[in-house]
Chain A
Amino acid sequence: MKKLINRQAGPVGRWALGLLPFVILAVLYLVASDARLDANPNDKLLPSLSSFSEAIERMAFEPSKRSGEYTLLVDTLASLQRLAIGVVISAMIGLVVGIATGSLPLFRAGISPLVTGMSLVPPLAILPILFIIFGLGELAKVMLIIIGITPFLIRDLQQRAEEIPTEQIIKMQTLGANTWQIITRLVWPQIMPRLLSSVRLSLGSAWLFLIAAEAIAATEGLGYRIFLVRRYLAMDVILPYVAWITFLAFALDFALKRYSQWRYPWFHGAQ
């Protein structure tokens, strides 16, 4: 028999091994939930499968009695809109500033220290300032996402722009390019797929800032709902919401990855 370090799982084995922890967790949950509900049928901490499906039915497929809207849909659209606006604005700022500081030494000397300093400020610590300045509306929530992820995007893209081989920058000059043309025909196209992967990395923090902002001041949104029903210990709503947020995050990441592979074959082929 081979040493453990040399043993590989086959295609079926890999799937089975990957699913195993999920199955174990699900079984553990069901057993624990059963035991608690046995002792106290009104227990709210580990709801049964049937109360999950009732809660999902109520939140997603029935109009709310109060407003007549589908709660999950309204929450999802509100959250995704904030997330999208925040991430797109951050990506654009990151792209422009990252390219400028990454390819122009004079810009780097002027802007880099400021960006480095700003990236060290914990964004949640200035959330109150944002609410004071921008009020409790949409702007403050979007600003929190922007302030949270833009410094990271700028620094990452600056580094990516600096990694473009000097040979290629010299080559462009020998082909007659001026600075602007080097940026538009060399740096920008080469940075785009890297921007997509930085955005994928920053989506996790973007969700964090979004939910934090919604928890404090909002009237709808996925984060708002979770923190609202927390008061009633409504685990039957919270857990499906968490699963839904996880699925949305996964879907966004997957879509960005596929788009990048389709749009920038040279980037993924060369790696």
Chain B
Amino acid sequence: MAAIEIKNLWKEYGQDVVLERLNASVEEGEFVTVVGASGCGKTTFLKMMLGTESPTRGELLLDGKPIPDEPDETRGIVFQRYSVLPHLTAVDNVMLAGELASSRWLGRVFGGKRRALREQAEEMLASVGLDHALSKYPHELSGGMQQRLALAQALIKKPRILLLDEPFGALDPGIRRDMHELVLDLWRKQDLTVFMITHDLAEGFFLGTRMWVFDKERLDPQTPGSYGARITYDLPVGNSDKGTLQSITQSVDSTARVLGA
């Protein structure tokens, strides 16, 4: 059975149609990148996956059941900013999930249990290359290191689905490349199912197994809200040629111009 099934999914805000007639299914272990112009519902889609927004029509299924309508531990997330907790050190940030699970009321553990959690957390941090920054606070880390920490924090919970919301949008190009390698590496080693939102088309072409382009097929320049975006391309990554990238770029750019005007 597919991990995620999308059946005739619509999202509307009053008169404005954001997404219409989405149909897709994603197998376990796939790495889907979602690209598209701003205002084409990428973030709305992510919010529905998280459970902070619910579909207007249609179904969004996780393992055959409707996705829960509030965030929980089945779906991990890394945002562009504010993903890690500023009042905890790196290792405390990563230990947090374990502490919350083993102590309902205090949310803290002590003694041997704590040492075990700490060991796991240190291992996790080492795997994202942060073994030298265990007791640093997030504000003492660079942007790239903060995102590494956010990945470690999300992955230690072993979520069913990992959602990445433009996680590298605020990083320098060189660091972004390192982060791509890290994400691909973690995805391969831990058998993750990943959805990554990005507005960088090249990133979408390079990362993962599958790329979705969210775009408006029908676009009324006077009332851009009257038609929603759909998945206009659903491409396996690696099989696409330069011409496809160009035509996608053109179409996404012209939508962006209309929506941005």
Contacts and interface: CB of A to CB of B under 8 A. Distances in A.
Contact of A167 (B73, B75, B79, B97): B79
A266 to B, nearest CB: 4
B224 interface: no
A266 B106 CA distance: 22
29 contacts: A167-B82, A168-B82, A168-B85, A170-B50, A170-B71, A171-B79, A171-B153, A172-B100, A174-B50, A174-B72, A175-B73, A175-B153, A175-B154, A176-B72, A176-B97, A177-B100, A178-B104, A180-B107, A181-B100, A185-B96, A185-B99, A185-B108, A190-B86, A264-B87, A266-B137, A269-B137, A269-B140, A270-B138, A270-B139
Interface of B: 50, 52, 70-73, 75-77, 79, 81-87, 96-97, 99-101, 104-108, 137-140, 153-154, 157, 159
B96 A175 contact: yes
Contacts of A180: 105, 107
B91 to A, nearest CB: 14
A162 B86 CA distance: 16
A186 interface: yes
B81 A167 contact: yes
A267 B86 CA distance: 8
A165 interface: yes
B137 A174 contact: no
A113 interface: no
Contacts, number: 84
Given A175-B96, A184-B106, A170 B87 contact: no
The 6 closest A-B pairs by CB, nearest first: A173-B71, A270-B139, A167-B82, A165-B82, A176-B73, A175-B97
Contacts of A181: 100, 104, 107
B149 to A, nearest CB: 12
A174 B77 contact: yes
Interface residues of A, number: 25
A170 B97 CA distance: 13
Interface string A246-271: 00000000000000000011110110
A237 B161 CA distance: 73
A177 B101 CA distance: 8
A269 B84 CA distance: 15
B87 A189 contact: yes
A130 to B, nearest CB: 38
Contacts of B104: 178, 181
Given A185-B100, A269-B137, A171 B83 contact: yes
A270 B100 contact: no
Nearest to B156: A175
B107 A270 contact: no
B159 A174 contact: yes
Contacts of A267: 86-87
Contacts of B75: 174
B70 to A, nearest CB: 7
A264 B154 CA distance: 25
A217 to B, nearest CB: 44
A235 to B, nearest CB: 50
